[in-house]
Amino acid sequence: MSDRALPASAAATGQTLSMAADTAAILPAQGLATAGATAAAPFAPAGPPQQREMPFAIVQGQPLLTLPQDLYIPPDALEIFLDTFEGPMDLLLYLIKRQNLDILDIPIAQITDQYMEYVELMKDLRLELAAEYLVMAALLAEIKSRMLLPRPAEAEEEEDPRADLVRRLQDYERFKRAAQDLDALPRLERDHYLVQALVPPGHRRLIPPEVDLREVLLALRDLLARADLFTSHKVEKESLSLRERMAIVLAKLQGMGFVPFVHLFEPHEGRAGLVVSFLAVLELIKSATIELVQAEPFAPIHVRLRTGA
Amino acid sequence: MGTLTEAMSTRPPLKNILEGALLAAGGPLTLDGLAGLFAEEEAPPTREALSAALAALEADYRDRGIELAQVAGGFRIQVRQSCAPWVARLWDEKPPRYSRALLETLALIAYRQPITRGEIEDIRGVAVSTNIIKTLLEREWVRVVGHRDVPGRPALYASTRKFLDYFGLKSLNELPTLAEIRDPEFLGDDLPLEPPAPVTGALAEAGNSPTATQG
Amino acid sequence: MGTLTEAMSTRPPLKNILEGALLAAGGPLTLDGLAGLFAEEEAPPTREALSAALAALEADYRDRGIELAQVAGGFRIQVRQSCAPWVARLWDEKPPRYSRALLETLALIAYRQPITRGEIEDIRGVAVSTNIIKTLLEREWVRVVGHRDVPGRPALYASTRKFLDYFGLKSLNELPTLAEIRDPEFLGDDLPLEPPAPVTGALAEAGNSPTATQG
């Protein structure tokens, strides 16, 4: 394999590089673009200047290696050609499909030669990318040599040297197709768009957290332990109902002005209830929260919230 | 000509295109903006046609959850006010658990009512933040039942019917006594105070921002 | 009781509330998320009622510019494909196109997950650029779900719900079926063609593949 320089002038002037080999019109491998008819579209916008039969490279005396005719290579984007192939597997698949070869019975010598021609071109174009292709080249060469070896008759079960490569090619082809299928799915930002309608403001709510009574009581226990201020030794059960009653009395007086004293008592509660109410009133008077007013002796007593001076 | 006719014959009704555009835009679109969706060569609709389509859209929405509104920036589709209270729940926010201070304050109001904020502070030894009182009032667990007739006339707080209902009590008498609370056996071990874990509405996990309800 | 009746009498039709929510959400909502819009005390709709309302909504949209779609993340309203060409003109940028390399990598992750970058490279026969992985991670179409316990502990990639949502799929089962592989008869029957277990399969292949794509 001799060194073959790329005719830089041809590329630089943006000419269409064509292939002088048997296959006159080579479409990129199926799936390079969605359809054959549009395959050239991304690469050949607005009629590039045409120049026919420009030998791209000479391989063993024959102008074999060129780019597919419909690939327009912009002067500064030679890698488009390389990007056309997603790697050595893709290139191999392309070579096989292009010639309608049976993937299960690849003429390995022929394919290897063609593959090497492309690899030589790539070596000229971009060395670091060619490295990956070189690994495949080595594999192909190895298979080719193993195919040439006479196979012992008794070694029936020995695997075809191409078997692993075929498996890999098939596996790659499946996912190559899967990628096309994926691309064809209706998707957001292309086939569908998300919608968003505005919501009138003022309806945001804050969900209050749940509280367990136990949490409240535990907080109180800690508080009691921290500051032992509840030292009064009243009967505490009484104390609580007294305090509840004080709150009830206050609520009754809220916004009412004078309220007859007797209205603070509910006779149906019985003696105990009356006592608690009475104690609550006394307690509230003591704490300067309510006041009793009696216009004259024996007149009805009225109660009201203290409004201050 | 062939492609023009083709495009026109496959073009969805104008109303549908406008509906899709207004909803996809996420904000108001002007008549000009809507007209700009149509290329010169595909027989763009006249302003009259656009207005008529918008009016038809508005009529279509009459019994729906959305409406067409005309605002300074143009036309936009928005959620109807009548549905907004439910839709806004998409962005419901659950604040973290209540603080120890709030629970203590609540307990003091329940056990020592009627009580002023100053008295709560005396017992707790630290100031009670206005937010705590506000939260308890908003939840309607406490209310102001009067004012103590001392300088400043501080409000007297008491617990409410809602407080009893929430905690499943018929009356304050059903609360354990202080003696019971002090008994280590009664409440058992301390609750492990969980770190605040803000749980938000249905959209939180999807990463949607609540910005939609603003403005 | 009065407030309950009041709330119920003023509540708009369920379909309208769902429409408002789905249009406001800006993304898919699950049935649970939709049910969460209704408080316990206001007679929340049953799942059957929700499904029926969604079906009615879908029918309402039959001739409109939008449609109700079910994807992995739940239900969403989206602009119909028939209106997309015009709606796309709202934005200056063209819809994003994705390279074959990205789509092949994404397909391998979707179909063969969990999968390492090395395994992807083995199948594609070419190195996977860091940019592609970065893009897929940034779009939240794939994520790292673990590390394979081999030297270097390579990350294992899997697809996400966002990936399904983007491509309008309810689940991975809805992915287009992988192309059938013809049985290479000439190779004999003893050839295990497709390793059945995806996780170990790729590793096994890496073992017997003479082409090293590292580096």
Nearest Cα residue in chain B from C35: B202
A191 and C175 within 8 Å at the Cβ level: the answer is: no
- pLDDT band at residue C54, thresholds of 50, 70 and 90? very high
The yes-or-no verdict on residue B6 having pLDDT over 90 is no
C162 touches chain A (CB under 8 A): no
For residue B115, the cross-strand partners are: B157
The yes-or-no verdict on residue C64 having pLDDT over 60 is yes
The yes-or-no verdict on residue C34 having pLDDT over 70 is yes
A194 touches chain C (CB under 8 A): yes
pLDDT for the residue numbered A36: 34
Nearest Cα residue in chain A from C207: A164
Which residue of B75, B90, B113, B145 is the best one to mutate when testing the A interface, meaning the one whose CB has the most A CBs within 10 A? B145
pLDDT for the residue numbered A227: 66
Q: Helix (H) and strand (E) counts for chain C?
A: 10, 5
Which residue reads 């990639």 in tokens?
Answer: C157
C78 and A195 within 8 Å at the Cβ level: the answer is: yes
Among B residues 24-63, those touching chain C with beta carbons less than 8 Å apart: 24-26, 29, 33, 36-38, 63
- pLDDT band at residue B29, thresholds of 50, 70 and 90? very high
A89 and C125 within 8 Å at the Cβ level: the answer is: yes
Nearest Cα residue in chain C from A89: C125
pTM (predicted TM-score): 0.65
| Chain mean pLDDT for chain B | 83
pLDDT for the residue numbered A48: 39
A158 touches chain C (CB under 8 A): no
How close does chain A come to C99, measured CA to CA in Å? 10
A91 touches chain C (CB under 8 A): no
The yes-or-no verdict on residue A301 having pLDDT over 60 is yes
Between residues B149 and B13, the one the model is more confident about: B13
- Using an 8 Å CB-CB cutoff, list chain C residues near B24: 79, 87, 90
Q: Least CB-CB distance to C86: which of B21, B64, B212?
A: B21
Which residue of A38, A104, A173, A194 is the best one to mutate when testing the C interface, meaning the one whose CB has the most C CBs within 10 A? A194
pLDDT digits (tens, 9 = 90+) for C151-199: 999 999 999 999 999 999 999 999 999 876 555 444 444 444 444 333 3
Looking at the predicted complex, does its ipTM rise above 0.85? no
Cα–Cα distance, B199 to A268 (Å, whole number): 48
Cβ-based neighbours of C157, under 8 Å, separated by 6 or more:
C109, C113, C114, C115, C116, C117, C133, C136, C142, C143, C144, C145
The yes-or-no verdict on residue A234 having pLDDT over 60 is no
C79 touches chain B (CB under 8 A): yes
- Out of A125-129, A152-156, A222-226, C195-199, the most confident range is A222-226
Question: How many CA atoms does the CB half-sphere of B118 hold within 13 Å?
Answer: 9
Cα–Cα distance, A262 to A254 (Å, whole number): 16
Output the six-digit token pair for B203.
């959209």
Cα–Cα distance, A127 to A44 (Å, whole number): 26
**Would you say B53 and A166 are in contact if contact means Cβ atoms under 8 Å apart?**
no
**Would you say B155 and B147 are in contact if contact means Cβ atoms under 8 Å apart?**
yes
**Would you say A127 and C207 are in contact if contact means Cβ atoms under 8 Å apart?**
no
- Using an 8 Å CB-CB cutoff, list chain B residues near A223: 104, 107-108, 123-124
C215 and A197 within 8 Å at the Cβ level: the answer is: no
Give the Å distances, CA to CA, from C208 to A149, A241, C151, C156.
21, 85, 18, 21
- Using an 8 Å CB-CB cutoff, list chain A residues near C64: none
The yes-or-no verdict on residue B155 having pLDDT over 90 is yes
pLDDT for the residue numbered A62: 47
The yes-or-no verdict on residue C49 having pLDDT over 80 is yes
Q: Least CB-CB distance to B83: which of C20, C25, C83?
A: C20
Backbone angles phi, psi at C167, to 5 degrees: -95, 15
pLDDT digits (tens, 9 = 90+) for A57-100: 444 444 444 554 444 444 344 556 666 788 889 989 988 888 88
- pLDDT band at residue C202, thresholds of 50, 70 and 90? very low
pLDDT for the residue numbered B139: 92
Which DSSP string corresponds to B79-143?
E-TTTHHHHGGGG-EEPPPPPHHHHHHHHHHHHH-SEEHHHHHHHHSSPPPHHHHHHHHHTTSEE
pLDDT for the residue numbered C28: 96
Q: What is the mean pLDDT of residues C39-55?
A: 93
Which residue of C23, C31, C75 is the best one to mutate when testing the B interface, meaning the one whose CB has the most B CBs within 10 A? C23
- Using an 8 Å CB-CB cutoff, list chain A residues near B214: 201
Q: Least CB-CB distance to A254: which of B124, B146, B178?
A: B146
**Would you say C158 and C72 are in contact if contact means Cβ atoms under 8 Å apart?**
no
pLDDT digits (tens, 9 = 90+) for B47-66: 999 999 999 999 999 999 99
Which DSSP string corresponds to A105-143?
G--HHHHHHHHHHHHHHHHHH-HHHHHHHHHHHHHHHHH
Cis peptide before B195 (omega within 30 of 0): no
Q: What is the mean pLDDT of residues B132-154?
A: 91
Cis peptide before B114 (omega within 30 of 0): yes
Cα–Cα distance, C167 to C176 (Å, whole number): 11
Among B residues 127-156, those touching chain A with beta carbons less than 8 Å apart: 135, 139, 143, 145-150, 153, 156
Q: Least CB-CB distance to C95: which of A160, A185, A189?
A: A189
The yes-or-no verdict on residue A200 having pLDDT over 60 is yes
Q: What is the mean pLDDT of residues B117-128?
A: 90
C84 and A190 within 8 Å at the Cβ level: the answer is: yes
For residue B93, the cross-strand partners are: A206, B200
Q: What is the mean pLDDT of residues A240-257?
A: 84
- Using an 8 Å CB-CB cutoff, list chain A residues near C191: 159, 163, 167
Lowest mean pLDDT among A38-42, A169-173, A184-188: A38-42
User: In this structure, what is the dihedral angle of CA atoms C84, C86, C89, C93, given to the nearest 10 degrees?
Assistant: 30
Between residues C160 and A284, the one the model is more confident about: C160
How close does chain B come to C33, measured CA to CA in Å? 5
A182 and C167 within 8 Å at the Cβ level: the answer is: yes
C190 touches chain A (CB under 8 A): yes
Among B residues 37-76, those touching chain A with beta carbons less than 8 Å apart: 66, 76
How close does chain A come to C153, measured CA to CA in Å? 24
